[in-house]
Each structure stands twice: as C-alpha cells, then as structure tokens.
Amino acid sequence: MEQSNGPIQQPLHAASADPAFVPGLTGVVTPLADAPEPEDGPEDVVADVVADPDPDAVEEDAEEDAAPAAVAADGPVFEAADRRGRIVADAEGVRLSYDEEACDFRWDEIAAVESEKGRFGKRFTVTVHTPDRRWYPIEIIAPDRGHVAGWETELDAVLDAYFDEAS
C-alpha cells in the first residue's frame, strides 16, 4: 500500500483558471438555445422597445449629457493614448482603457495617482490607487521622448486642479 509523504494539495482556484474569480468582472451572458420564447412573441417585445419615448424625457436626457461636457471643458484636461491604451483625466475623474477593458474613477474614489517615466524614456505609466488598497496601472508608449515630459506636466496640472488630498 502506498502513502503520500507530502501535504495534500488542493486545486488552485484563481483568476488564471477562472476569470470570474477577479472581483468586479462579469461574464458574458449568452441566451440558452432551448430557452422558452415569451408568450407575446419576439415581434411584440421588439415593438414595445422601439415605441416612441416621451419627447420631454429625450430633451432632458440631451440636456444632462451636455452638462458634463461643459464642466469638463472649463478646467485642464489630460489625455494620452497609444494604439492599445488610453488615459483621460478631467473634472469628472480618471478613465483608463486598454483594448476592450475600461475603468472609470471619480475623484472621490481615488486615494493617489502615481506617474512614472520608463527607463528608456518612451513609456509612461500611470497608476491609480484606491482607498481599499487596490491599484490600477496602465502603460502608454509615446511616439517620442518629448511627449512623455509634456504628459507629465499636463497630468500634474489636472491633479493640482481636481485632486483633493484631504479626501
């Protein structure tokens, strides 16, 4: 009879094996092929969704969408992008996007913003730290070294204008 001399190792349950393990990520919901159709039929459901909404509500939505754009235009705005990533910091907060992934942070959700120039001068890394000790880095590759210095200056101006260290 054989016996194991080492500890019993359980299978690893982590993000590398199961993306649902990462907090905040949601999986893609696909409809089941054998799911029952609604009693009204698909045509009736589409007709209900496509029906004309209240015109007053549409005007209010348009006014609400225009208001944040006016707020963002008043102060400094930082924007840096390459072929895969993008960083935008303005009056609303900081938005990071990389390929199809994106995250938005309001200024009250940010504990610190850290920027770093790469070793050879063309890589610019911005890391957003949250109060719950999580950090979200993104690296942008500049077309040349001069852009990185300009990006640092623009980001500092935005942080000085909107980021309140007391919060």
Domain count, the chain: 1
Structural domain boundaries enclosing 130: 78-162
- Residues 150, 167 contacting (CB under 8 angstroms): no
Residue 133 corresponds to which amino acid? R
In-domain check, residue 43: no
In-domain check, residue 147: yes
Which neighbouring-strand residues pair with 98? 85, 101
Q: Report if pTM > 0.85.
A: no
- CATH code of residue 131: 2.30.29.30
In-domain check, residue 144: yes
Q: What is the pLDDT along the chain (167 residues), one digit of tens a residue?
A: 566 666 766 666 565 556 665 665 555 555 556 655 555 554 544 444 444 445 454 445 444 444 444 444 578 999 999 999 999 999 999 999 999 999 999 999 999 999 999 888 899 999 999 999 999 999 999 998 888 989 999 999 999 999 876 55
In-domain check, residue 96: yes
**Which tokens sit at 38?**
């609604």
In-domain check, residue 156: yes
